[in-house]
Amino acid sequence: MKILITGGAGFIGSHLVDALIKRKHKLIVVDNLSSGLKENLNPKAKFYYLDIRSKKLDNVFQKERPEIVFHCAAQINLRKSIAHPLKDARINILGSLNLLENCRKYKIKKFIFSSTGGAIYGDTKNIPTPEDFPANPPSPYGIAKLTIEKYLHYYYQVFGLPYFSLRYSNVYGPRQNPKNEAGVIAIFSEKILKGEQIVINGDGRQTRDYVYIDDVVRANLLALRRKGVGVFNIGTEKETSVREIFKMLKKITQTKIKAIYGPPIKGEQRRSCLAIKKAKRELGWSPKVGLDDGLKKTVQWFKKKIK
């Protein structure tokens, strides 16, 4: 099939491009390289240097006529969304709507959206959190993702555009940008290997559900094959604290670096962990890469990158 991926030079998008090309699909990548990297681009994909808000997106659809769209492009920094909610909305809401309008106009067969888990549910005592738990996004980033899910439902009901929205937990692995404040595994891995100081925000007991990039890609491939529509959590149902992540990385790298504790981030969630029964039942998906193995693979990649 002919597939268009927004954000195909980014962390998740580039891995997905590689997997789809291996399966002989024809790939079109749209990316403005604001957080994606040229080095992540697969040379077998046709690349358009373009912002998803641009009117020129219509020209890409008209020329390429893709059948499927994977939407990975986004303003991904949660803290930036809090500091600049207007900018976040222009990219994550208006940019996504520009994309959806082109999907409607050019009769796309399926739309697969990279959404978020923890940033949609907010802090909850219902752990692991299922898809039907009331959404209460604590940030403009989460609000934008939930808004696009509502629009996807609208475009399906009114225009018949089938969609899958995949609500990821904390994705990690090779190619994750350590300059992004949310990627604690990438940040710690790079700093440990460079011998730099590790700073843990707050007490380090805040937990997240860490899912490896290969498992996330597999969820997208399964969504591509499945008929119907739906919203699915993609996580592991396991909580791991920031302290535990640091401890595991210390063991893998055999470093003696000690962490220092900084002030807590205002408004940061304490716990986030996603229930995945629905994905198991309806997508036939479950995570295969354990945290220890995933961390080893991630550290190995950062070692090569730093060399």
pLDDT digit string, tens, across residues 256-303: 999 999 998 776 789 999 999 999 999 999 999 999 999 999 999 999
Q: Are residues 26 and 129 in the same domain?
A: yes
Cβ atoms within 10 Å of 105's Cβ, excluding its own: 12
- Mean pLDDT for the stretch of residues 252-259: 94
- Mean pLDDT for the stretch of residues 228-252: 97
Half-sphere exposure in the Cβ direction for 259 (13 Å, CA): 23
Residue 130 lies in a domain: yes
The enclosing domain of 39 has a CATH number of: 3.40.50.720
Q: Which of 48, 106, 121, 141 is flagged as catalytic? A: 141
Q: 34 is written with which tokens? A: 């604001």
Q: Are residues 197 and 263 in the same domain?
A: yes
* CA 45/CA 93 separation, integer angstroms: 26
Q: Are residues 143 and 50 in the same domain?
A: yes
The pLDDT value recorded for residue 125 is 87
* CA 291/CA 46 separation, integer angstroms: 34
Q: Helices in 84-212 by DSSP H: which ranges?
A: 85-89, 96-105, 118-121, 140-159, 184-194
Q: Are residues 154 and 216 in the same domain?
A: yes
Residue 281 lies in a domain: no
**Phi/psi at 185 (5° precision):** -65, -45
Model confidence pLDDT, tens digit, residues 206-220: 999 999 999 999 999
Q: Are residues 100 and 158 in the same domain?
A: yes
Q: Which of 154-163, 177-186, 188-197 has the lowest mean pLDDT?
A: 177-186
Residue 161 lies in a domain: yes
Task: Work out how many domains the chain is built from and give that number.
Answer: 2
- Residue 229 near residue 163 (C-beta atoms within 8 A): yes
Residue 279 lies in a domain: no
Residue 283 lies in a domain: no
Boundaries of domain holding 194:
173-209+238-272+289-306
Q: Are residues 19 and 163 in the same domain?
A: yes
Q: Are residues 245 and 267 in the same domain?
A: yes
Identify whether 172 is a catalytic site residue.
no
Residue 243 lies in a domain: yes
- Mean pLDDT for the stretch of residues 76-88: 88
Q: Are residues 127 and 34 in the same domain?
A: yes
